[in-house]
A and B are shown apart, each in its own frame.
Chain A
C-alpha cells in the first residue's frame, strides 16, 4: 500500500517537473553564412511538410514547413543535402552553388524499405532483426469484411485465425505460432485457449480483441511473432503481439481529402448438412423402439411401442407430411458497410483524420445481427521543430442481437413430421396458429396428447419471443506529447486509455423454452465496465558515430492499471412483456443478483514496467538489437511479482556485401537470428490470495445462515510463465524484387506454464492456478510473393504462405509422468483429444466377443488397445491432432487496364476436433429429434424393420435398455459432455473471397469532380473443400447452441475519393 502511494506521488511530481523543464530548456542554433532554400513536393506537385533535410556528413539539418518550404544554412556551397521523408525514397541533392532548390520526391515502391512498428517506435523494414509481419490498410480492407481479423485470415504466416462459431457478432480467434498457454477456454468450444490470445495494442491500449474496430479505421497492423521483437512487451507478449495503428492523421496529405466507401451484400446459408426426410426419420424412429431381443417383437407390438401414444404422427407419416424447419427458419442475411473518411493538413501544422463508419451484419435467422457504429478522430499538431502533440480517439458502439441460444439448434432438431401449427379436431394443421411445443400436440378440448415426442420448442416462437442483446460502448484513445530536445534526444509521454461499457440483456416471454420452465416472462441484465490506462514515458537517443556506427537507444517507463466491474440482475414472473426494461417488475422471490456463471464483481490488476532497447547498425550491414524489460505484476504471488525479459537479435544484410552488391539476381538478402524471452501472467487477478469468494447457504432451524469459503486453493507460490524463443529468418528479393519472400524457423519453449490445475480430490479443493510444466512450439513459416507479369496494362501478382507448427508438452513440474487427470499428456499437443477409440459397431456374429466387454450386438465398440479383453483407463489414447498440422494460403491479384481481379484461398490441414454437431445430430440414443442422414445398425427382428449390419453408427435407442448405443457411447466427464464417437477430421480448403473491380478512368471522373471511383463485386466464402459433414469445418468445435451453418456472402460496393 505504502509503495503504491509513494509511486503515485513520484509520478505526479515528476510529471509537473518535466512539464516545466520543457519550457525552460532551450537549445541554441549556430548561424551560418551560406543559405539554401527551396520547396519539396511529391510527384503530383503537392507540397510535403515535415520533410527532413540534412547536410550530408554533418549534424546540420532542418525540415520543411507546412507549405513544403525549407531554408538551411550549409557549411559550403558544394554541400550535399540528404532529403528523407516517411514513405518516400530518400534523395541526395548536390546544391552545386545554387541557393534555391526544388525537389520532387518519389514514393517508395520497394516494400522492404517501409518502416515497421516494433513497439514504442518504428524501424526501417530493412533494419528489422526480429520476425515482424506488417499488414497494410489495403490488405485489411480488400476483402470488405466487417471484422478486421476475418480480413486478414491467411495473410500472415504463422498466424491462425478462425471464426468462433459463425454467429454474427461472435468474433474470431487468433493464435500466433501455436498454443503455449494452458489456461483453457471456459466455453469449451475450441481447441485454442484463452491464454493463447496474443496481446493487441491498439494505439497504445492493450486489449484482448479488436472485434470492435472498423477495419477501415486501421492504418496498419504489425504482428510481432518472435520473442525477441515481442520482448519489449515483456510479461504479456508470450503469445505474440499485434500492434494496431489506427489512422491518426500524421500521414494526411495537405488540403482536404474525402473518401467514401459503401457496399451491400447478401448472405445465404450454404453447404447445409443433409438431414433425414420424413420417411427416413420414421424408419429410424421405428428401429429405435425395437425391443431386446428384437426377434420376439411383433410388428403390432412395435407399432404400439413406437407410435402408440402418437396417432397424429402415424397419420402424418401416411399422408406423406413434411415440414422443412430449416427452410422456415433460415433467411438470407446481409452485410452493409458504409465508411466516410476525411483527412487533411492545415497550414498551422495541424493534421487530422476523421472516420465515420456504419456496418451491419444480419445473420441467417431473425434476431441474429450485429450493428457497429464507429467514430474516430485523430489530431496531430506539430507545434514547431521541437514540440508536437496529438490525440487519437476511436469510439465504437456495437449492438449485437444474439437471439436465443436455442432457436437455431431447435430448428435443426425438429423432425420434418412435426408441424409448427396447432391442429384441429381432425388432426389437420391450423395454418397460422403457432404451437409452442410441436412435439407435444393435443387437440382442441382434449388434454390427451395425440403426438408425444420431443419437448423442444417451436423455433419460430422462440426466435420471436426471446432476445439476447449485447450493447457495448468501447473507446480507446491516447494523447501524447513529444519533445525533441536535441537532434539526438527526444522525450515522449503517452497516456492511453480504454473504456468498455457493455450491457447484456436477456429476456424471454412465456412463449419460449425458458418461459415454460419459469412459467412466465423473465429477464436479466448484466453490466460490465472496464477502465484501463497505460502511461508510457520514453526517451529516444539516436546518434551516428564516425558515419558507420548507428546507435539508437530507447528508455521506457510504463504503468498499466486495469479495473473490471460486473453486476447482474434477474427476475421472472414479470406481469408484462417489458423485456429487459423492467426487471424489477418480476416476483421478488425470484430476484437474483448472481449470474448463472458468476463473475467476480470487482477486479483490479496493475503492471509496473521499465524497458531499455538498443539498436546498433554497423555500416548498414550488420544489425544488432538488444532489449530488456522488467515487469512487476500484481496478480502474482509476493516475491514472484518481478521478472525481466531480455532479448537479443542480429541481422546481416548480405546484399550489401561487396560480393553481392552488383548481383543482377539477388536484389535483397538478409539473414536474421534472435533469442528472446517473454512472459504471461494471464490469470485471475487474485489467484495467489486466499479470499472468501464462495458463498454458501444453510439453515439452522428456521435461521438462514450464510457461510463463506474459498472456491479454489490459493497458490502462494504462483510465478511467471516464461517463454524462450530462438528464431532464424531469411528475407530475400530476387530479380529486382520480382520474387520476394521470407523463411523463418523458430524454437519456442514456454516454462512454468500457468494452468488452472485440477487438484487431487483428496485435497478437498477443485482447482488452483499453478505453474505446471513446459510447452514447446517449433515451426517453420514461408511466404513467397512473385510478380508474375508486370506490364503497363497487365499486372499479376501471387503470394503463397505456408506455416507448420509442432506443439508439444515436454515436461510437467510436479511429476515425471503424464497428468491424465488434467489432460496433460507428455509428448502430445496441448488439450489433446484423449479418449477411447471408436471402433464401429458390435455385429450379431460377434455376440460372444461383445459379451466379454459387457456389450451386445448393436452397441458401439471401443478399441481394446492393449488387448486385455477389458476396456479401462489404459485403452484411452490421443485421437488425431487437436491442432492443425499445417496451414497455408494462396493469394492472387490480376490487374488488366481498369479491371482488377483477386482471390484468396486458405487451408488448414490435419486437425481432429470433437464435434458438438455430430454429438447432437448423430447421437442414435435420441429417438425423438431430427438426425442427419446416416447409416445405422438395425438388428434382425420380427417386427418388420429391415435389418442393417452397419458398422457406422450403433443401434438406435436409449442406452437405458442396454440395447442401443452402449453405456459409454456418450460418456460424460467432469469437463463436459464428450463422446468418443464424435471426433472428426476438420481439414479444409476454403476459397475465402473472389473479387472483381473496375476503376473508372480519369477523364470521366474529372468531369464528375472525383479523383477516384471504383466499383466492385466480392464473394466471401464461395467454396469449401472438406470431408467434414457438419456445418462448417472452420468452427467444427463450436458449441451446438451457437453453432451456425456455413454461408456465402455476395457483395456489391463502390469507393469514391473526392
Chain B
C-alpha cells in the first residue's frame, strides 16, 4: 500500500500548476519588440511606403474610369466606369476605401511607435514622411467618398468596431494638419536619388489639396491663392526642359521632373513574379493579338476615346508620338534558345527598327489620300486581309481607332484601337500573359502636372495672366503654340491636362474637382449618357460608401452618400 501511495504521489506531481504555455514563432519576430528598435522602426516606415502599391498598383477605376478620355472596349469595365449601374455593393467600390485605410493605419502605427521607439536624429523626418502618406490617403478618400471617418488611433483591440462619418471639411483640416507637419520635418534630398517624400512633394500635394478645397462651398477664400503659392514652391523655378519623350521612357522613371511616385523594383518581384508589380501598362489598349502570336496581354478596356485623340494637334504635338504607339512592329526574338515572332515589344528591344515589320499603323490626323497610299505601298507587312475599303487590316485611318469604333459592326478587336505606350515595361523577363507584372514606377506627381495645377490655381485666384504663363510653359515644351488669353479657361486647362497626362492616374479627380464630370463625360465617352447620372447628376461626384464597409461597421447609423 505504501508503494501505491508513492506512485500516486509521483503521478500527482506530474499535475503541475495551470500556467501559461509559451510558444514562440521561429519564423516571425514579435511586432512590438521589433518596432521599438530603430532598425525595426525603419521596417515599419518602409512597409508604410509599400502600402502605396495597394492603393495604386491594382485596378485604376477610381482614377480614370468613367471619364471623357477612356471608354470600355472588348472587356467590361468596373461599375465605377458606368454610373447607371453603380451601387454600393458593386465590384471594386471598396478597393480604394480598403487600401487607403490600410495606409492610414500603417501611419498611425508609425506615429504610435515614434514616441516609444529608440530615439534617433532621423525620427522626425520619418514621421513627416509618414504623415504625408496619411494625408494623401485621406485626400483620396475625401474626394472619392466625401466625409469619411478620421481614424488616427493605433488599433490594437477588436472591441472598437464602431465608426462615425466626419464632415468633408474636417477631413480637409486633418489633411492640411498632416501636410503642415510633414512640411516642417521632411528632408529636401533630390527625389531622383533618395526616392523619399521631400518638401517639394509636400508642397505639391498642399497645392492640390488647397486647389480642390477651394472649389467647395466650405472652402476658404485664400485657398486658391495658397494653392498657387504652394505650386510655385513645388516648381521652385525649375523650367520644363526635359524632352517630353524622355519623361516616360522605360528606365527613366526617376527623372529630374518626377516629384513623387510609387516605386517598384525588379528585384523584389522574384518572390512573386506575377503579383508584386503593377498593372498601369496593361490598360488603354485593345487586344494586341494574344500571347499565342507573341503579343503582350492587354486589358482591352479604358481605350482612348476619339475625343481624347482629337484633343491633340496631330504629330505636331510632341506628346502624340510620346504617348501613343503609332506603329506596332513585330520581330524575331530568341528566348531560351528558341526563336519566335514577338509582336509589340521589339520596338523597344531591337537596335535597328528598320529590320522590324510594321504590322499596324495608326494614321495621324490630317493624312492625305496620297500619303496614305504611299505608306501602304512602302509597308508590305501590314496585317492582312484587306478591309472593305481596300486598306490592309493593319492600316488604321484616323477616326477609326478611338474607343467608340468598338461599337461599329464588323469592327475587329485585335489592335483595333491605338495603344498608349507611356507605361510599357519591355523588360525581357516580364511575362506576357499574367497579371500585375510591370515594375515601372507609377508617377503620381511631376513637374508638368504642377505647372498645370499652378495655372488652374492662378486662374481661380484671379490672376489669369500668371496662370496662362504656367500653362504655356507646358505647351512650349510640347512644341505647340501657346494658348491665347481669350482661350484660357478651365476647359482649356482640362484639355491641356488630358494632352499632357493621358493615362496618368488623375482624370476622374480632375473632373470631380472642377465639377465638370457631368458635362464633359456624356457624349465624349460613347458608353455614358447624361441620363446615366440619374435625376441629380452631381450626386455622382461622390462614389458610394462600400456596402461592405457599412455591413462591417457596428454603427448602424453610418449614412450612405445621397443618390445610392
Residues of A bordering B, CB below 8 Å: 1, 3-4, 6-7, 10-11, 14, 17-18, 21, 24-25, 291, 297, 301, 304-305, 308-309, 436-437, 440, 442, 447-449, 452, 455, 485-486, 489, 491, 516-520, 537, 539, 555, 557, 572-573, 575, 587, 589-594, 596, 600-608, 610, 630, 632-635, 638-639, 641-642, 685-686, 689-710, 713-717, 757-766, 768, 770, 814-815, 817, 819-822, 854, 871-873, 958-960, 962, 967-968, 971-972, 974
Interchain CA distance A188-B551 in the complex, whole Å = 21
Interface centre among B11, B74, B101, B550 (most CB of A within 10 A): B11
Chain A residues with CB below 8 A from B535, complex form? none
From A1, which residue of chain B is reached at the shortest CB distance?
Answer: B22
Chain B residues with CB below 8 A from A634, complex form? 21-23
Chain A residues with CB below 8 A from B8, complex form? 539
CB distance from B425 to the nearest CB of A (A): 14
From A566, which residue of chain B is reached at the shortest CB distance?
Answer: B27
From B72, which residue of chain A is reached at the shortest CB distance?
Answer: A960
From A700, which residue of chain B is reached at the shortest CB distance?
Answer: B195
Q: Is the CB of B47 within 8 A of A696?
A: yes
Q: Is the CB of B385 within 8 A of A606?
A: no
Chain B residues with CB below 8 A from A485, complex form? 3-4, 7
Chain A residues with CB below 8 A from B193, complex form? 701-702
Q: A854-B85, A960-B77 are in contact. List 11 more A-B contacts (CB 8 A).
A: A14-B10, A304-B410, A519-B432, A602-B27, A632-B20, A634-B23, A698-B46, A700-B195, A761-B552, A765-B102, A814-B159
| B487 interface residue (CB < 8 Å to A) | no
- Could you say which of B31, B85, B269, B432 contacts A710, with CB atoms under 8 Å apart? B31
Q: Is the CB of A760 within 8 A of B161?
A: yes
Q: Is the CB of B25 within 8 A of A689?
A: yes
Interchain CA distance A557-B293 in the complex, whole Å = 68
Chain A residues with CB below 8 A from B554, complex form? 760, 814-815
Chain A residues with CB below 8 A from B195, complex form? 699-703
Interface centre among A517, A695, A705 (most CB of B within 10 A): A705
Chain A residues with CB below 8 A from B106, complex form? 709, 764
Q: Is the CB of B88 within 8 A of A873?
A: yes
Chain A residues with CB below 8 A from B413, complex form? 309
CB distance from A857 to the nearest CB of B (A): 16
Q: Is the CB of A699 within 8 A of B263?
A: yes
With A602-B25, A707-B45: A17-B10 Cβ-Cβ less than 8 Å: yes
Q: Is the CB of B264 within 8 A of A440?
A: no
CB distance from B294 to the nearest CB of A (A): 9
Q: Is the CB of B22 within 8 A of A757?
A: no
Interface centre among A537, A638, A761, A814 (most CB of B within 10 A): A761
Interchain CA distance A662-B50 in the complex, whole Å = 82
| B270 interface residue (CB < 8 Å to A) | yes
Q: Is the CB of A587 within 8 A of B429?
A: yes
Chain A residues with CB below 8 A from B271, complex form? 592-594, 695, 697
Chain B residues with CB below 8 A from A968, complex form? 85, 87, 90
CB distance from A512 to the nearest CB of B (A): 12
Q: Which 10 A-B pairs have the closest CB atoms?
A: A764-B105, A707-B47, A707-B46, A697-B268, A821-B552, A701-B195, A696-B50, A821-B551, A700-B195, A960-B76
Q: Is the CB of B27 within 8 A of A600?
A: yes
With A761-B94, A821-B548, A873-B89: A693-B47 Cβ-Cβ less than 8 Å: no
Q: Is the CB of B22 within 8 A of A693?
A: no
Interface centre among A517, A539, A604 (most CB of B within 10 A): A517
Q: Is the CB of A557 within 8 A of B151?
A: no
Q: Is the CB of A817 within 8 A of B101?
A: no
Chain B residues with CB below 8 A from A7, complex form? 16
Q: Is the CB of B27 within 8 A of A693?
A: yes
- Could you say which of A448, A516, A591, A700 contacts B194, with CB atoms under 8 Å apart? A700
CB distance from A554 to the nearest CB of B (A): 12
| B116 interface residue (CB < 8 Å to A) | no
CB distance from B392 to the nearest CB of A (A): 11
From B109, which residue of chain A is reached at the shortest CB distance?
Answer: A709
| B314 interface residue (CB < 8 Å to A) | no
Q: Is the CB of A967 within 8 A of B7?
A: no
Interchain CA distance A592-B21 in the complex, whole Å = 35
* Stretch from B226-234, B334-342, B449-457, B505-513 at the A interface: B334-342
Chain B residues with CB below 8 A from A967, complex form? 79, 82, 85, 90
- Could you say which of A692, A759, A770 contacts B31, with CB atoms under 8 Å apart? A692
CB distance from B32 to the nearest CB of A (A): 6
* Chief secondary structure at chain A's binding surface: mixed
Q: Is the CB of B22 within 8 A of A4?
A: yes
With A448-B385, A701-B193: A707-B11 Cβ-Cβ less than 8 Å: no
Q: How large is the interface on B (under 10, 10 to 19, 20 to 34, 35 or more residues)?
A: 35 or more
| B556 interface residue (CB < 8 Å to A) | yes
Interchain CA distance A608-B149 in the complex, whole Å = 45
| B310 interface residue (CB < 8 Å to A) | no
Mask: chain B, 132-170; 1 = CB below 8 Å from A; 0 = not: 000000000000000011010001111101010000000
Q: Is the CB of A638 within 8 A of B47?
A: no
Q: Is the CB of B7 within 8 A of A18?
A: yes
Interchain CA distance A359-B266 in the complex, whole Å = 48
Q: Is the CB of B30 within 8 A of A642?
A: no
Interchain CA distance A695-B276 in the complex, whole Å = 11
CB distance from B190 to the nearest CB of A (A): 9
| B49 interface residue (CB < 8 Å to A) | yes
**11 A–B contact pairs at CB < 8 A?**
A18-B10, A518-B434, A592-B273, A641-B20, A691-B29, A694-B47, A697-B265, A700-B263, A717-B157, A759-B158, A821-B552
| B325 interface residue (CB < 8 Å to A) | no
Q: Is the CB of B18 within 8 A of A596?
A: no
| B267 interface residue (CB < 8 Å to A) | yes
Chain A residues with CB below 8 A from B13, complex form? 10, 14
Q: Is the CB of B264 within 8 A of A699?
A: yes
Chain B residues with CB below 8 A from A692, complex form? 28-31, 34, 43
Q: Is the CB of B291 within 8 A of A516?
A: yes
CB distance from B145 to the nearest CB of A (A): 11
| B58 interface residue (CB < 8 Å to A) | no
| B26 interface residue (CB < 8 Å to A) | yes
Q: Is the CB of A301 within 8 A of B409?
A: yes
Mask: chain B, 267-283; 1 = CB below 8 Å from A; 0 = not: 11111110010000000
From A17, which residue of chain B is reached at the shortest CB distance?
Answer: B10
Chain A residues with CB below 8 A from B180, complex form? none
- Could you say which of B21, B336, B546 contacts A608, with CB atoms under 8 Å apart? B21
- Could you say which of A537, A606, A757 contacts B14, with CB atoms under 8 Å apart? A537
Interchain CA distance A693-B34 in the complex, whole Å = 12
| B53 interface residue (CB < 8 Å to A) | yes
CB distance from A635 to the nearest CB of B (A): 7
Q: Is the CB of B163 within 8 A of A760?
A: yes
Chain A residues with CB below 8 A from B15, complex form? 557, 610
From B19, which residue of chain A is reached at the shortest CB distance?
Answer: A3
| B108 interface residue (CB < 8 Å to A) | yes
| B547 interface residue (CB < 8 Å to A) | yes
Interchain CA distance A698-B13 in the complex, whole Å = 55
Interchain CA distance A825-B151 in the complex, whole Å = 28
| B557 interface residue (CB < 8 Å to A) | no
| B222 interface residue (CB < 8 Å to A) | no
Q: Is the CB of A697 within 8 A of B50?
A: yes
| B247 interface residue (CB < 8 Å to A) | no
CB distance from A246 to the nearest CB of B (A): 28
Chain A residues with CB below 8 A from B97, complex form? 761
Interchain CA distance A872-B466 in the complex, whole Å = 49
Q: Is the CB of A555 within 8 A of B155?
A: no
| B292 interface residue (CB < 8 Å to A) | yes
Chain A residues with CB below 8 A from B385, complex form? 448
| B523 interface residue (CB < 8 Å to A) | no
Q: Is the CB of B87 within 8 A of A596?
A: no
With A517-B434, A960-B75: A691-B28 Cβ-Cβ less than 8 Å: yes
CB distance from A516 to the nearest CB of B (A): 5
| B480 interface residue (CB < 8 Å to A) | no
| B44 interface residue (CB < 8 Å to A) | yes
From A633, which residue of chain B is reached at the shortest CB distance?
Answer: B21
Interchain CA distance A873-B156 in the complex, whole Å = 30
Chain B residues with CB below 8 A from A704, complex form? 265, 267-268
